[in-house]
Every structure is written in C-alpha cells, then in structure tokens.
C-alpha cells in the first residue's frame, strides 16, 4: 500500500512539474510574440519616414555660397511646394544641393546640433549667405542695369532676374516679374525691339 501511495505522489509531483513547465513555456512564448509584434510596429514606424532619394534630387538645385541665396531659396521652396516634400525630405534634398562654403557651413551647423529643423537650417543659411545690401541699394543696381554689348538676351534675362530678387524680395512675385520684364525691355541694346516688346505688355521674358 505504501508503495502505491508513493507511486501516486511521485506521479502527482511529475504531473504538477510538467504543468508548471508547460505554463512557463507558454508565458515565454507569449512574451516573445509580444516583443516581435513591438519590433514589427517600430520597424513599420521607421519605414514610414519619408526620406529623400538621391536619384530624385533635382539637378537644378545647386548652391555653393557664392551665387544668389534668395534665388536658390525661391527655387527650392518651389520644388518643395509642388512635389510636397516632407520635413525629412527637405533636409535630405537641402544637404544634397549644397556645395563648397555652403556645404561646409551646413556641416558645422548640424554637427553642433543634429536635430535642427529644416526651417531653422534655412534661417541659419540665410543669415550666413543672404544679401547684406540695403534694399534701396539693390533697387538702384537693378534700375541702372543695361545689357552688355556682347551679352546674349538669355544671359541678360538671367542677370535681370538675379538683380530683381534682392531688390523686390518683400513684394509679391507678380510685382517682381513685372519689374523684371520692364527692366529687360528698357535695358536691351536693340531699342526698337525693346520698345515694341514693351508695347505688347509681355507676361514673361521668354
């Protein structure tokens, strides 16, 4: 009888131990599954970040710190608005657009604080490379500009737009375009062609 009781007790202990191990394994499996689900969720969040693609970077966006900052800024903001770039995409494309001194300044700025927002980066670049001329000085240069003797119409048009940007940066783009067209016509070497063009009231310099 004692032998049978001992056998039943041993069997009961083994069964209890087996159940305990089974529950422990089940608990570990659930914990592992939860961790996997959490990892999948975080991976999904990371993958949902819209990053810029080097092959999608517009080749027309280039700035080296020597040319007009305002012209580059206006062009960049136009791409941003039309393509609807995200904050992260803007930072990526801005970095890939910079060269020379502008890139060096960007590198120093972001090394000090990698979490700079795109807006703050643009303000930092503008404070470093933006025009320092007085508005009236820029307007005077614009109004005195004339086409060079060996300057093509295309180069003259580009120069007029470059001069117009800092001169009328505080005014609507339509007004700046009107002023640029007027200066383009008035400053042309071919006076007769320029007079005829002005009378036609062109909407662009093309």
Nearest by Cα to 133 from 162, 180, 167: 167
- pLDDT of res. 102: 93
Question: Taking a C-beta distance cutoff of 8 angstroms, is the pair 87, 51 a contact?
Answer: no
- pLDDT over 60 (residue 121): yes
Q: Averaged over 138-166, what is the pLDDT? A: 90
Q: Give the C-alpha separation, 101 to 98, whole Å.
A: 8
Concatenated DSSP letters for 7-60? Answer: HHHHHHHHHHHHHHHHHHHHHHHHHHHHHHHHHHHHHHHHHTS----GGGS-TT
Asked if the model's pLDDT at residue 145 lies above 80, the reply is: yes
Q: How far apart are CA 107 and CA 191, in angstroms?
A: 49
- CA triple 195-154-151, angle to 5 deg: 80
User: What is this structure's pTM?
Assistant: 0.47
Give 23 or 2, the one with higher predicted confidence. 23
Return the pLDDT at 47. Answer: 39
Q: What is the pLDDT of residue 75?
A: 92
Q: Is the pLDDT of residue 131 over 80?
A: no
CB 60 within 8 A of CB 71: no
Residue 204 or residue 65, greater confidence: 65
8 Å CB contact between 167 and 141: yes
Question: Tell me: the pLDDT tens digits for 21-73?
Answer: 555 555 555 555 555 544 444 444 443 466 777 788 988 999 999 888 888 99
**Overall average pLDDT of the 126-147 stretch:** 84
pLDDT score, position 137: 85
Range of lowest pLDDT (26-40, 122-136, 184-198): 26-40
Task: Decide if pLDDT at 179 tops 60.
Answer: yes
Which stretches within the chain are classed as H helix?
2-47, 69-83, 87-97, 100-112, 118-129, 135-144, 153-167, 173-186, 191-199
Residue pair 83/94 in contact by the 8 Å Cβ criterion: no
Residues 193-199: what's their mean pLDDT? 69
Burial of 76 (0-12, 13-18, 19+ CB in 10 A): buried
Residue range 165-194: mean pLDDT, rounded: 85
Average of per-residue pLDDT across 143-151: 93
Categorize the per-residue pLDDT at 78 as very low, low, confident or very high, splitting at 50, 70 and 90.
very high
């Amino acid at each position: 009888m004692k032998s049978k009781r001992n056998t039943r007790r041993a069997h009961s202990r083994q069964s209890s131990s087996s159940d305990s191990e089974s529950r422990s394994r089940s608990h570990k499996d659930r914990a592992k599954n939860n961790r996997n689900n959490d990892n999948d969720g975080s991976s999904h969040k990371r993958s949902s970040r819209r990053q810029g693609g080097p092959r999608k970077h517009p080749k027309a966006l280039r700035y080296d710190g020597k040319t007009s900052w305002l012209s580059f800024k206006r062009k960049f903001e136009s791409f941003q608005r039309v393509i609807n770039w995200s904050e992260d995409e803007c930072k990526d494309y801005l970095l890939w657009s910079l060269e020379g001194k502008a890139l060096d300044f960007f590198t120093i700025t972001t090394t000090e604080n990698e979490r700079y927002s795109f807006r703050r980066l643009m303000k930092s670049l503008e404070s470093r490379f933006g025009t320092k001329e007085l508005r009236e000085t820029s307007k005077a240069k614009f109004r005195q500009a004339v086409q060079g003797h060996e300057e093509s119409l295309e180069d003259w048009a580009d120069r007029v737009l470059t001069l117009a940007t800092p001169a009328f940066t505080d005014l609507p783009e339509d007004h700046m375009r009107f002023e640029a067209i007027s200066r383009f016509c008035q400053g042309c070497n071919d006076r007769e062609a320029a007079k005829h063009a002005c009378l036609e009231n062109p909407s662009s310099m093309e």
